[in-house]
A and B are shown apart, each in its own frame.
Chain A
């Protein structure tokens, strides 16, 4: 066993020394040196897992409401408690509420009541649902046992809906919209940028002028105008895809620029010229020889484009021109926080914003790390 690993290490060292390590391995090794990027990678993966398993992780469905607990304050979760015999142990629970009337504001406020404890149970049985839309399931990760007990870890909104559940469901929409938007942008960017970089000429200059033009426009007015053009009676899915298309209108330019730049740089490389002289078709030269050598750059550029998309969706939905009410995204959640007086009495409504900042930061670090690692031969 020990000798095995030694031999393995030996060959790895040799690979490195003789340059036989594969490109992706080198990129990974380079990437791992970037601590912040590595941590960010895990954060991003974590959020995407939340997005995938949203129904299972969230204690309630996003539309589940309880009008008795409007604007209930966050309960938090207490993990350790004593049992009847007074022994400490892992027994998660939340406190119940007592209501008080706020004379000044003429409304109810919820105060945590330390005398009432609701046990939190794991893998609790609930009404049946479909995970990710197709896997039938009956259990959720956690919840309170008594069906009538309030369970608002991060507080409730104006209809008494659980903010945590909505945040988890919103993660799915917001993250996927970034991903779909980038895939669309990538498609157009690679296609157009590739053409203009590979063939050059008049097509290239038209594309370049177009890109310059689009980039010189302020994006929000442009997006607002396009988003306002969506018919009001469109369904959730239609709006969703319309938004991704709107975001890609600007998004493709950056990716096209990157792709074109790589094409221009590679066009005169020896191995490309050699392939052309060998009589390889354009398609083969591009797909077989050029694309693999700048794939990593494109992945880095695409990763860096995702946060911009997420921010844009959040901003549009926040302004009320993006995704509309029954769809839960971070933007529509923040829309609830628009009124300053509401915010003053329920500051936890800003929590989606905190999540946005965390995800955007993590994706930026991840993208930076990928970009640095994209060219492992340099330096």
Chain B
């Protein structure tokens, strides 16, 4: 087990390094840099900019230097001092800006995962046990709809219905009075009263897929002879199903986290933009359009790292509950 964990950790570090390279390359791609965008906005609004000031700023941030030098500066800052660089637009260190936002992202995605599992498992089991029943067909239809409705569209429809029927403008995660408050029971309640909508949107697509996977896995298991044996020995039906087939069918389901997480992180970005949530998503979009490169790069990097860590955890859980994975393979 230890060897398995170590090899997984090494590959994770390599992946994170690759992500940092990609993230930095992406933010370097646009022609020009933040200062050119900045100058353009200033001149668009009629202001004059002293070219010497710009030159000094460029010098200070090392914007004219070759890619590898800038990359090295950035990465060594992160590794040695936890310094992700300076946000040009906010004029503050990136670290001051992102943690709250990323925390909200993780919170939302975590809640979505929990909801997904709690909803998908019983439905998947039910659909497999009662194959071709009305409930099974309903689950299938739901599954396909969940797959086909883009999450931002779902968010829009939800907001529209909330506004048209109840006159409520959904959006945000906290009511104004709780915005900057410390966590308390009242704030948690307020959070939940706001967060249910985005969590619902985020969970839908994943739930649909989990139901399909769970149903297929369990159907495979239910055909096996040991189920018949258990039934023949007179076990009550619910024990026949829950005792072994469901547990075995769960294993492949855990590994789905690996591809569930990237999609979840993706959709949380776009849903947050639509519903105006204070997560990493809208901040990323804004920083990309203004070429606030260190902020954008850090967000891309950390969203990627989040995904990789989540996948690692799911791998470890999988290896823990299913020894065949640990010792098999290679």
Chain A interfacial positions (CB closer than 8 Å to B)? 213, 215-222, 224-226, 228-231, 307, 311, 314-315, 318-321, 334, 337-338, 340-341, 343-344, 347, 350, 353, 356-357, 360-361, 364-365
What 7 A-B pairs have minimum CB-CB distances, sorted nearest first? A229-B29, A220-B266, A225-B26, A218-B265, A228-B288, A360-B148, A361-B148
B300 touches A221 (CB 8 A): yes
Which residues in B have their C-beta under 8 angstroms from that of A347?
160, 164
Which residues in A have their C-beta under 8 angstroms from that of B152?
315, 318
B311 touches A220 (CB 8 A): no
Would you give the 0/1 interface string for B278-306, flagging 1 where the beta carbon is closer than 8 Å to chain A? 00000011001101000010011001100
Quick check: which of B47-55, B86-94, B124-132, B269-277 contacts chain A, the rest being far away?
B269-277
Residue of A nearest to B169 (CB): A340
CB distance from B306 to the nearest CB of A (A): 8
A218 touches B296 (CB 8 A): no
A216 touches B26 (CB 8 A): no
B29 touches A226 (CB 8 A): yes
B153 touches A353 (CB 8 A): yes
Residue of B nearest to A226 (CB): B26
Judged by a CB distance under 8 angstroms, whether B157 is at the interface is: yes
Q: In the bound complex, how far is the Cα of B266 from the Cα of A229, in angstroms? A: 18
Which residues in B have their C-beta under 8 angstroms from that of A216?
15, 258, 262, 304, 307-308, 311
Known: A217-B262, A221-B304, A343-B159. 17 other contacts (CB 8 A): A215-B259, A215-B262, A218-B263, A218-B269, A218-B303, A220-B265, A220-B269, A222-B22, A225-B300, A228-B30, A228-B288, A231-B30, A334-B153, A334-B156, A353-B150, A357-B149, A364-B147
A217 touches B156 (CB 8 A): no
Which residues in A have their C-beta under 8 angstroms from that of B307?
216-218
Within 8 A of A (CB), among B9-41: 15, 18-19, 22-23, 26-27, 29-31
The residue in B29, B266, B296 that gathers the most chain A C-beta atoms within 10 A of its C-beta is B266
Knowing A216-B307, A231-B30, A350-B156, the reply to whether A321 touches B289 (Cβ < 8 A) is: yes
CB distance from A337 to the nearest CB of B (A): 6
Which residues in A have their C-beta under 8 angstroms from that of B304?
216-218, 221
Which residues in B have their C-beta under 8 angstroms from that of A320?
289
The residue in B144, B299, B307, B308 that gathers the most chain A C-beta atoms within 10 A of its C-beta is B144
Q: List 6 A-B contacts (CB under 8 A).
A: A216-B15, A225-B23, A318-B152, A340-B171, A350-B156, A361-B144
Residue of A nearest to B150 (CB): A311
Residue of B nearest to A343 (CB): B160
How many residues of chain B have a CB within 8 Å of chain A? 52
Judged by a CB distance under 8 angstroms, whether B72 is at the interface is: no
Q: In the bound complex, how far is the Cα of B253 from the Cα of A237, in angstroms? A: 43
Q: In the bound complex, how far is the Cα of B116 from the Cα of A250, in angstroms? A: 25
Knowing A221-B269, A228-B30, the reply to whether A356 touches B153 (Cβ < 8 A) is: yes
Residue of A nearest to B282 (CB): A319
Residue of B nearest to A311 (CB): B150
Knowing A218-B262, A218-B265, A219-B266, the reply to whether A224 touches B308 (Cβ < 8 A) is: no
Which residues in B have their C-beta under 8 angstroms from that of A219?
262-263, 266
B15 touches A213 (CB 8 A): yes
Which residues in A have their C-beta under 8 angstroms from that of B18?
213
Judged by a CB distance under 8 angstroms, whether B209 is at the interface is: no
Which residues in A have their C-beta under 8 angstroms from that of B270?
220, 315, 318-319
Q: In the bound complex, how far is the Cα of B145 from the Cα of A353, in angstroms? A: 13
Q: In the bound complex, how far is the Cα of B291 from the Cα of A73, in angstroms? A: 40
Which residues in A have their C-beta under 8 angstroms from that of B137?
none
Judged by a CB distance under 8 angstroms, whether B267 is at the interface is: yes
Judged by a CB distance under 8 angstroms, whether B99 is at the interface is: no
Judged by a CB distance under 8 angstroms, whether B163 is at the interface is: yes
